Amino acid sequence: MRVRKAVFPVGGLGTRFLPATKALPKEMLPIVDKPLIQYAVEEAAAAGVEEFIFVTGRGKAAIEDHFDHSYELEDLLSSRDKRSELDALRAAIPDAGQVAYTRQQEPLGLGHAVWCARNLVGDEPFAVLLADDLILADTPCLKQMVDAATETKGNVVAVMDVSREHTARYGILDVGRDDGHLAEVRGLVEKPDPAVAPSTLSVIGRYILMPEVFDHLGKMEPGAGGEIQLTDAMAKMIGTQPFHGLRFEGERFDCGDKLGFLQATVAFGLARDDLREGLGDFLLSITKDLQK
């Protein structure tokens, strides 16, 4: 299975990070020295994605500028012989024609945002990546999912176990056959009460979906919170197409949450050869201070 296109829903307001996100899209918040959205785009590219579709909203022009050339800055870096910085800048920019933008005019939910990309996706399998979910992995999470989709020839979502009291925050799987790596999806429930959740296996922000999901999203049926839920549309494809949850290898950070964002910054900093020693020494020193 080839997954050539990826959708990035980036229309959210990022209210949990105000005032930082008053004028800056939350997807542009940096983890070390790259914005969240760049990590997501790089993950998609590493999985073979060739077309990057951004579903934006008002105030998101900084994302478009980030994935475009800044000739003045590039000329300045070149004149000062800052080669490594110039290379890093250019490496973030997809080739001409690989990027497309469409707007979600109303905040009607994740399912609605994905539906807005229907004409750009067309009639082929596609990926959805939520930049808030940042995953540190040796093999990019989406690459793992493409491999799983090639094996199962159907829909695949990235999943992880959460504590039962947190099931009301996620889409939760009703699980069929489960080999500890791939779990057959027998049903999906959006944000169930812990008392009635069918499992603790939750969907996180990575999806590989068949184009038939647009038929269900197009019915505009409101779900949890009165929004058009992607989970509800996916649930309607169960039984008509193969559907699995993949327990990916790697560590996921919820960067839509302040604590998760800080944890990701530390983890990605420690993964860098140029930062590991200094950051590690600092963390050891403050740990000793906290233990006093």
pLDDT in tens, 75-87: 999 999 999 999 9
The SS3 of residue 110 is helix
25 — alpha (psi -120 to 50), left (phi > 0) or beta?
Answer: beta
Exposed/middle/buried for residue 158 (C-beta within 10 Å: 0-12, 13-18, 19+): buried
**Tell me, what's the pLDDT at 223?**
80
Judge whether 181 and 247 are in contact, CB under 8 Å. Answer: yes
What is the mean pLDDT of the segment spanning 194-199? 91
Architecture of the domain made up of 5-155+205-256: Alpha-Beta Complex (3.90)
Judge whether 273 and 242 are in contact, CB under 8 Å. Answer: no
Q: How many CB atoms lie within 10 A of CB 69?
A: 11
Residue 222: pLDDT band (50, 70, 90) is confident
Judge whether 54 and 35 are in contact, CB under 8 Å. Answer: no
User: What are residue 207's DSSP bridge partners?
Assistant: 128, 157
Distance of alpha carbon 165 from alpha carbon 19, whole angstroms: 30
Sorted by where each begins, the domain ranges of the chain are 5-155+205-256
Sign of CA dihedral 94, 96, 97, 100: positive
Percent of the chain scoring above 70 in pLDDT: 100
**Tell me, what's the pLDDT at 189?**
87
**Tell me, what's the pLDDT at 224?**
74
C-alpha 126 chain-centroid distance: 13
From 29-33, 58-62, 277-281, the region with the lowest mean pLDDT = 58-62
**Tell me, what's the pLDDT at 226?**
80
Token pair recorded at residue 154: 């159907």
What is the mean pLDDT of the segment spanning 236-261? 94
Angle at 226 between CA 222 and CA 232, to 5 degrees: 40
What is the mean pLDDT of the segment spanning 140-156? 96
Distance of alpha carbon 134 from alpha carbon 60, whole angstroms: 20
Judge whether 9 and 104 are in contact, CB under 8 Å. Answer: yes
Distance of alpha carbon 141 from alpha carbon 135, whole angstroms: 7
What is the mean pLDDT of the segment spanning 90-100? 92
Percent of the chain scoring above 90 in pLDDT: 80
The SS3 of residue 282 is helix
